[in-house]
Each structure stands twice: as structure tokens, then as C-alpha cells.
């Protein structure tokens, strides 16, 4: 975590709270639309700048799931993500670390670098899309 202390900002805290209450891993445009319901005169630039500040301060996560947009996540506990190839939704996956550690160990054995963690993005079909198919 960065040692730089940000001074309090009502706008930043509102942005953070909006993100915290949205488990869908929204992109900046979605967060902006939701924040505007609370702070009508806030600019997209202010939302974007504050999301990046929060991510730089390790208060939120930036996610790149390959759809061309940056998504954000307020859940900081260790977890992974699954992207639905049908609807594009992003789901949280809480996996036992005993599943991931052996994979990191195997990768460590075949490379000369020191691996300390992994960001694994799973792809598939979410339960909602699976229900629609049946």
C-alpha cells in the first residue's frame, strides 16, 4: 500500500461507496452514471481520476478482462474472476489457495523468475446464461 495519504474528498468517498455497493465489476462509465445520481454535477474526468487514485492507493482493484474496458472491484480479499463468454458478466471466485499454490510452484520450476502470485482469469458461461439455454 502506498504511504501517501490522500486528503479526504467527499467525491472520492462517494465514488468508492458506489463501487463498493456494486458487485458487478463496473467500468468507469457505469460508475460515473451511478455517482451522478448522487452528485449530479460531477465530471467523468473526476470519476476516472479518483478511481485511478483509489487503485494506486490499493483501496480498489483495476481489472482488465479483455473487453476493451477497465473494470473496478472494491473487494480486496484474495479472489479470482470468471468472465461469462455469453453475457460478459464478471463473477468473483473465491478459491482455496491450496488449488493455486501448486500451480505457482509448477510454474516456478520451469522458469528462472521468482513467481510470488498469480492473476488468473477464468472464462466460461455463467449460471444465468446456462439457465437460458435449457
Report the alpha-carbon angle 54-81-94, nearest 5.
100
Residue 2's pLDDT is what? 46
User: Is 111 annotated as contributing to ligand binding?
Assistant: no
User: Is 126 annotated as contributing to ligand binding?
Assistant: yes
Q: Where in the chain is the domain with CATH 1.10.10.10?
A: 10-73
CATH number 3.40.50.920 is the correct assignment for the domain at 80-133: no
**Of the options 1.10.10.10, 3.30.70.20, 1.10.287.3610, 3.40.50.1100, the CATH number for the domain spanning 10-73:** 1.10.10.10
Residue 5's pLDDT is what? 66
Is 63 in contact with 76 (CB distance < 8 Å)? no
For 23, list phi and psi in degrees, rounded to 5.
-80, 5
pLDDT in tens, the chain (134 residues): 444 566 888 999 999 999 999 999 999 999 999 999 999 999 999 999 999 999 999 999 999 999 999 999 999 998 999 999 999 999 999 998 888 889 888 999 999 888 888 889 999 999 999 999 87
Residue 4's pLDDT is what? 59
Report the alpha-carbon angle 97-103-105, nearest 5.
100
Residue 119's pLDDT is what? 87
Residue 1's pLDDT is what? 45
User: Is 87 annotated as contributing to ligand binding?
Assistant: yes
pTM reported for the whole predicted model: 0.85
d(CA 117, CA 103): 10
Q: Where in the chain is the domain with CATH 3.30.1490.190?
A: 80-133
Residue of 117, 79, 107 lying closest to 95 (CA atoms): 79
Residue of 21, 20, 22, 9 lying closest to 50 (CA atoms): 9
Amino acid at each position: 500500500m502506498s504511504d501517501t495519504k490522500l486528503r479526504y474528498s467527499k467525491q472520492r468517498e462517494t465514488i468508492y461507496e458506489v463501487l463498493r455497493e456494486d458487485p458487478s465489476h463496473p467500468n468507469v462509465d457505469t460508475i460515473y452514471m451511478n455517482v451522478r445520481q448522487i452528485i449530479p454535477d460531477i465530471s467523468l474526468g473526476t470519476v476516472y481520476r479518483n478511481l485511478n487514485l483509489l487503485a494506486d492507493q490499493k483501496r480498489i482493484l483495476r481489472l482488465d478482462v479483455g473487453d476493451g474496458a477497465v473494470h473496478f472491484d472494491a473487494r480486496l480479499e484474495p479472489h479470482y474472476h470468471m468472465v461469462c463468454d455469453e453475457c460478459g458478466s464478471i463473477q468473483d471466485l473465491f478459491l482455496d489457495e491450496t488449488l493455486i499454490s501448486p500451480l505457482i510452484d509448477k510454474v516456478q520450476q520451469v522458469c528462472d523468475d521468482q513467481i510470488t502470485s498469480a492473476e488468473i482469469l477464468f472464462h466460461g458461461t455463467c449460471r444465468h446464461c446456462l439457465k437460458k439455454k435449457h
